[in-house]
Amino acid sequence: MKEIVITGFTILKSVGAGGANDPDDIDTIQILLNGIQPSEGGAFPPLAVLDAADNINRAELARMIEAIRTFQELYFKFDDGRVDPEMRTIRKLRELFRKKPSPLPSDALYIQAVQPFDGFDSGTSPPWALVTMPRAKQLRVENLLPTDTIEVPEGAPYMVDRAGEIISLRGTNNGSSTLQIRRDGELMVDLRVEVVTAKSFSLCFLYVKGPGPNEGTSRQLGDAAGMLAGVNRVYAGQAGVTFTFGGEAEISAINGKAVDFKQRTFLIADSAPAGGRDQVFTWGDLAAEDARRPGADCHAYFVKDVEHFPKSPKCTNCIGGTTMIGTGPAIVEDSASNTNRFVLLAHELGHFLGYPQEHKSPPTSLMFPRVGAGMNQLRILEEDFRKMTKAAT
């Protein structure tokens, strides 16, 4: 067998949640995470897990595990919080660490996000930043000189703090304004800043399953916490929205109708299709289900397979979820092979917040109709935020 030679940053044992966490290996992962741009999944503020004597700071180790989870959520369909020797996570860390950004002209200014999923959209012109009261947002301005001036219009709904190349925006009241940076009187940066009040919605998790193995959803009681953590990483910074726990339950009947788990498809329809053989539940059935929690703003039903009637002629058994816009509930298919444990739910919650079923969002957005997993589909772009009326108004 040909010998495989590994060069560069390597670890001998796993690092992170449930890992061996040897100091030498921790140091390697720390160097990689600290050396990657935060907007690409690197750690910020930089990690300091080890002291001079290689003793482990447990609080910093916990922060490293969260940084690993965030990195994995950007690029993969899992987020176990652990880096294993020569597996996908460390290979991706090395790839990004070695990628050198193109040098900027010495007189150019470039704004970038400090944290992933923080409500900064550089694809608009001019760039747009969302600030959620009472949180602060940090942006990095590369090539910012001490003599460059940051101008905030009178009456702007935010305050600015500056520390080197990092500027912090803190909202003071709802509204929008501009932030400009000038060098020797010349306008170098024109940034649109919008401040919104943080909003919160409670979410109830209902798992449709039967008593036997493989009957219904694979989700179970206790899964809500992990899904909420992932959803809130996506929404809290980018839309000023957090989802809270509104209860969870396992159910085998909906509105008094027993679920036939021998049927392959769980069909959602306004009315039963003529001659159809699929088991059919209507939105009215889901809205009347006794297991729904009165205080919850939205109910997410998790099923094994779901279709909506009428079905798209271009899509057979490919619908991962569907949502009754604005009022819920959301229907989530956990057996869809191209989704991880929360991305499809996050997409459906975008519809709950008001995003229409038109699905005109570009492939780089969470609201693109073919939901996958990875960095390109966890972003909420400004144009999509505007359509999420429960968040934007």
80-139 per-position pLDDT tens digit: 899 999 899 999 998 888 765 555 555 678 888 887 788 998 888 889 999 998 888 999
Q: pLDDT exceeding 90 applies to what percent of the chain?
A: 33
Asked if 291 and 252 count as a contact pair (C-beta separation under 8 A), the reply is: no
| pLDDT value of residue 318 | 40
Q: Regarding predicted confidence, which is higher, 324 or 239?
A: 239
Of the pLDDT bands very low, low, confident and very high (cuts 50, 70, 90), residue 277 is: low
Q: How many helices (H) and strands (E) does the chain have?
A: 8, 21
Kindly tell me the sign of the dihedral angle through the C-alpha atoms of 336, 342, 343, 349.
positive
Tokens of 372: 């996958």
Place of tokens 């989704």: 339
Q: Which of 206-215, 228-237, 270-279, 368-377 has the highest mean pLDDT?
A: 228-237
Global confidence as pTM:
0.74
Q: If you average pLDDT over residues 8-35, what whole number do you get?
A: 90
When mean pLDDT is compared across 105-114, 142-151, 310-319, 331-340, the lowest value belongs to 310-319
3-state class (DSSP) for residue 224: helix
Q: If you average pLDDT over residues 347-357, what whole number do you get?
A: 87
Tokens of 10: 């390597």
| pLDDT value of residue 334 | 59
Q: If you average pLDDT over residues 33-48, what whole number do you get?
A: 82
Q: Which of 27-41, 96-110, 289-303, 378-392 has the highest mean pLDDT?
A: 378-392
**Each residue's pLDDT tens digit, 135-162:** 889 998 888 899 999 999 999 999 999 9
Contacts of 359 (CB under 8 A, 6+ apart): 367, 368, 369
- Quote the CA–CA distance of 287 and 293 in Å, as a whole number: 11
Q: If you average pLDDT over residues 368-381, what whole number do you get?
A: 67
Tokens of 283: 């939105």
- Quote the CA–CA distance of 11 and 13 in Å, as a whole number: 6
Asked if 101 and 13 count as a contact pair (C-beta separation under 8 A), the reply is: no
- Quote the CA–CA distance of 341 and 73 in Å, as a whole number: 10
- Quote the CA–CA distance of 28 and 189 in Å, as a whole number: 37
3-state class (DSSP) for residue 150: strand
- 3-class SS string, 214-239: CCECCCCCCCHHHHHHHHHHHHHHHH
